[in-house]
Amino acid sequence: MEDSRIAMPIGTALDRFIKSRQTAFPYATGELSQLLRDIALSGKVVNREINRAGLINLAGAAGTENSGGEQQQNLDVLANIRFARALEKGGEVCAIVSEEEERVIEVNRKAHYVVAIDPLDGSSNIDVNVSIGTIFSIYRRISEEGKPVTMEDALQPGRNQVAAGYILYGSSTMLVFTTGRGVNGFTYDPSLGEYFLSHQNMQMPLEGKIYSVNEGSYHSFPQGVKDYIEDCREKGYTGRYIGSLVADFHRNLLKGGIYIYPSTASNPEGKLRLMYECNTLAMLAEEAGGMATDGTNRILDIVPTRIHQRAPFFVGSKNMVERAKELVEEAKMIEK
Ligand code: P6P
């Protein structure tokens, strides 16, 4: 059986890459391929608006709140509209779970895919010109085609994902995604309006020397997290925390490292959302040889009960996430 990870040459256009590997995609009817194209296209539009935000008065707060009561930025609202419209027009999506929408949005009852999305994560960084990102997961619907979408379609564990990815609006704009056969990165060339393969079959180093955590909340961290941070300090690791999940994750994917958002006093369940932040990056991490837990349990095995539920999040180089798990569990044993 041909290994579908066989690398396409660097510089391959996204469209050609998707087409050439469609046969290896699950349910290779072209629907998932089209859905990935719809997401990539929306990313181009959002990228353009981000780059001009300061010029067309798009930066700043919208004066409204999202599902979690967090301040929405103008670009949060705009990105949500762009992705929702593209997914509706594309016709491949039966439902959308979005950080910016309170409830599940039913789109097309005849379609086969559910998309969970954070249209623009890290948006509070927009005004200070720090990298931000779109994070998306794709699931196969469970309910029968043509019937109303059910909560069972939306509340699937991360291990059910058929695809996961992010768009990083950074010094360059990149689309990084997996369909369960390795992780590939595409760099956007705005002069041609196209994404080109720039990072083939990305592998997360098993070990790293970078830990990303907001140490401002150190005093309310669980003891095991404090022990792990001490362990990193004793080993002379570097602390790097951009405050934008996709940017921190992407750096760790390339260089090795761990990102931690544990439970804190202000976020007892952790701050990050299981459906469209933790699950997405957990699938990418595992596909690239990394690991993702809630400190103890595999993220992808958590069965969600609410679409916006949060989870403590430890993701990155396998050896680092395992070391953190060891110290978290040791601390729990001592506390018993
Ligand atoms: P804190 C951005 O709001 C975000 O969701 C992630 O992108 C980022 O890693 C985290 O929250 C930052 O949160 O509490 O450290 O400012």
Any domain includes 6: no
Among candidate residues 199, 227, 253, the one where a domain is terminated: 199
Clarify whether residues 128 and 236 are in a common domain.
Answer: no
Asked whether 271 lines ligand 1 (CB < 6 A), one says yes
CA 143 from chain centre, in angstroms, equals 25
Clarify whether residues 222 and 109 are in a common domain.
Answer: no
- CA distances to 45, 56, 305 from 284, in Å: 24, 34, 22
Any domain includes 205: no
Query: 160: closest CA among 136, 135, 182, 140?
Result: 140
Any domain includes 9: no
- The boundaries of the domain holding residue 252 are 210-335
- CA distances to 69, 83, 206, 308 from 118, in Å: 15, 10, 28, 11
Question: Where do runs of H (alpha helix) occur along 214-303?
Answer: 223-234, 245-255, 279-287
Contact indicator for 278, 284 with CB cutoff of 8 Å: no
CATH of the domain at 265: 3.40.190.80
CATH of the domain at 170: 3.30.540.10
- CA distances to 18, 19, 151 from 28, in Å: 11, 10, 26
Clarify whether residues 178 and 71 are in a common domain.
Answer: yes
Asked whether 70 lines ligand 1 (CB < 6 A), one says no
Asked whether 76 lines ligand 1 (CB < 6 A), one says no
Ligand 1, residue 272: give the atom nearest the CA: 5
pTM of the predicted model over 0.85: yes
Q: Which pLDDT score, from 0 to 100, does residue 72 have?
A: 73
Clarify whether residues 192 and 241 are in a common domain.
Answer: no
Clarify whether residues 43 and 181 are in a common domain.
Answer: yes
Asked whether 243 lines ligand 1 (CB < 6 A), one says yes
Nearest CA to ligand 1 atom 4: 122
Nearest CA to ligand 1 atom 13: 243
Asked whether 187 lines ligand 1 (CB < 6 A), one says no
Asked whether 245 lines ligand 1 (CB < 6 A), one says yes
Clarify whether residues 93 and 231 are in a common domain.
Answer: no
- Report the domain count for the chain: 2
Asked whether 118 lines ligand 1 (CB < 6 A), one says no
Q: Which pLDDT score, from 0 to 100, does residue 2 have?
A: 41
Contact indicator for 46, 58 with CB cutoff of 8 Å: no
Pocket test for ligand 1, best of 167, 214, 240 (most atoms within 8 A of CB): 214
Nearest CA to ligand 1 atom 5: 122
Ligand 1, residue 277: give the atom nearest the CA: 5
Q: How far apart (Å, rounded) are the C-alpha atoms in residues 31 and 310?
A: 30
CA 132 from chain centre, in angstroms, equals 11
The structure tokens listed for 172 are 């360059």
pLDDT surpasses 60 at 4: no
Among candidate residues 199, 218, 242, the one where a domain is terminated: 199
pLDDT-based confidence at residue 46 (cuts at 50, 70, 90): very high
Clarify whether residues 174 and 249 are in a common domain.
Answer: no
pLDDT tens-digit profile of 167-223?
Answer: 999 999 999 999 999 999 999 999 999 999 999 999 999 999 999 999 999 999 999
Any domain includes 182: yes
Among candidate residues 179, 199, 219, the one where a domain is terminated: 199
Clarify whether residues 94 and 230 are in a common domain.
Answer: no
Clarify whether residues 114 and 241 are in a common domain.
Answer: no
Q: Which pLDDT score, from 0 to 100, does residue 53 have?
A: 75
